[in-house]
Amino acid sequence: MLTRLSRRKFLVGLGAATGTSIVPGHDRSYAGTTRRYPNMIGDTRYHVTEPEDTLLDLARWNGLGFTEMIAANRKVDPWVPGEGARLVIPTAHILPQAPREGVVINLADQRLYVFDPDSASVESAPIGIGRSAWNTPKGRTKVVRKRANPTWYVPKSIREENPELPAVVPPGPDNPLGHLAIYLGWPSYLLHGTNRPDGVGRRVSHGCVRLYPEDISRLYHEIRIGMPVTVVDQEVKISWVGKELMLEVHPSQSQADELESEKKFRPGSPPRYEYLVMDAAGKQAAHLDWQTIHQALDERSGVPVRILKLEGALP
């Protein structure tokens, strides 16, 4: 039983997490409200390892996915980091450039964001997404229904890949949908729990979005029928946070695959990154710290960094 799991309810600003849980029950329909949300949630933390620690365990205990942890700690063996290693816990996240309503999924950082119009706060959770040839689609849809203890009707395409699968998998511990499922307007795509939590934060699904059991439990009520769902793929996220211009760069989906299998990836510049940085800096473009920017682009650690020189740190 995990003892360090906590609810990650982020309030306006760089707030820390607070704890609670949600039990499935009555649902209320979605009605969007315009609110001002923060540009970044959470904060970057650090952890000194104990002998039994692995990056997979630390990821789940801190509400992160596996790829997030290994990207931020590439010099550490993910399975045997050793005692006394100082690890980055990348729990600060710049919000993706997308409509700030309903659910926003960013495939590059393998995270889901839920916007609460009542409190102007944002919840976030790591996700598992579609692997190569089964990519999770991008675009805009909505939540159409929800179900506790779902039955999995195995798509024909998946049974062709694995003929040993039955046509129907009933609720229970062998059901890969877990104990809660949220269905989207895209047929055959849904948000769901999982009976294999080690797949969260990795590209291993057939296109659906899987969450840790504890995350789908707490978000099941907050993700309401009718909510818009926007899926983007943004390797580069940049935004003003107070008087600081912050940059967060993640591996591309193919680089994430390489990172997991080989502990490294081939370098490559994200498209249009100079335009994105210059446009975000605006009148402060002359004060950009290009050395820090290029280092962030090379490392793709997923950790937000300040990219203005001190004399330029004004919005």
Diameter of the chain by CA atoms? Answer: 64
Known catalytic residue: 208?
A: yes
Catalytic member of 93, 179, 208, 250: 208
Whether 102 contacts 30, CB under 8 Å? yes
Known catalytic residue: 287?
A: no
Catalytic member of 93, 192, 206, 250: 192
Q: How far apart are CA 7 and CA 13, in angstroms?
A: 17
Active site residues per annotation? 192, 208
